[in-house]
């Protein structure tokens, strides 16, 4: 019997958000991941010595990374997912909450 081969596809969502508080970012995006029902395997964060913060969620469906730029009160967010439906729902939740997101300055992948 020939094994079934799945075609790998990654759906990317990239944007800037006018927020740089590590606590708010981690809490907010943890909630979004849970609402969409992503499978969170791990979450790792790093506070840089002078300024800045990075948080990374390892998901069964791929990952979410946030990098802050406190001097500009902005953060870069990138979701990569092999589950298109969850990626679309994640984007819909962000849009529905009217967050200060700049969709125009970052690629949105295939959306």
Residue 60 lies in a domain: yes
Please give the residue range of the domain that contains residue 63: 11-102
Residue 108 lies in a domain: no
- Indicate if the pLDDT at residue 86 is higher than 60: yes
Q: What predicted TM-score, i.e. pTM, was given to this entire model? A: 0.87
Q: How far apart are CA 69 and CA 32, in angstroms?
A: 21
Q: Is 20 a catalytic residue?
A: no
pLDDT attached to residue 103: 82
Residue 2 lies in a domain: no
Question: Of 11, 67, 75, 81, which residue is the catalytic one?
Answer: 67
Question: Of 43, 63, 80, 82, which residue is the catalytic one?
Answer: 82
pLDDT attached to residue 7: 75
Question: Of 20, 62, 75, 81, which residue is the catalytic one?
Answer: 62
Provide the number of structural domains found in the chain: 1
Query: What does the pLDDT look like over 28-85, one tens digit per residue?
Result: 999 999 999 999 999 999 999 989 999 999 999 999 999 999 999 999 999 999 999 9
Q: Is 62 a catalytic residue?
A: yes
Residue 111 lies in a domain: no
- Indicate if the pLDDT at residue 1 is higher than 80: no
- b or e along 19-29 (b: 16 or more beta carbons within 10 Å of the residue's beta carbon)? bbebeebbebb
| Nearest residue to 28 (alpha-carbon basis) of 107, 82, 97, 81 | 97
Residue 4 lies in a domain: no
């Amino acid at each position: 019997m020939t094994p079934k081969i799945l075609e790998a596809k990654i759906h990317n969502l990239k944007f800037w958000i006018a927020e740089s508080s590590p606590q708010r970012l981690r809490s907010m995006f943890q909630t979004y991941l849970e609402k969409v029902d992503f499978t969170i395997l791990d979450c790792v964060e790093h506070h840089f010595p002078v300024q800045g913060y990075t948080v990374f969620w390892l998901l069964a469906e791929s990952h979410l990374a946030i990098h802050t730029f406190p001097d500009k009160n902005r953060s870069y967010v990138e979701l990569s997912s092999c589950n298109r439906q969850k990626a679309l729902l994640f984007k819909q939740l962000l849009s529905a909450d009217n967050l200060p997101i700049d969709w125009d300055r970052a690629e949105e992948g295939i959306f």
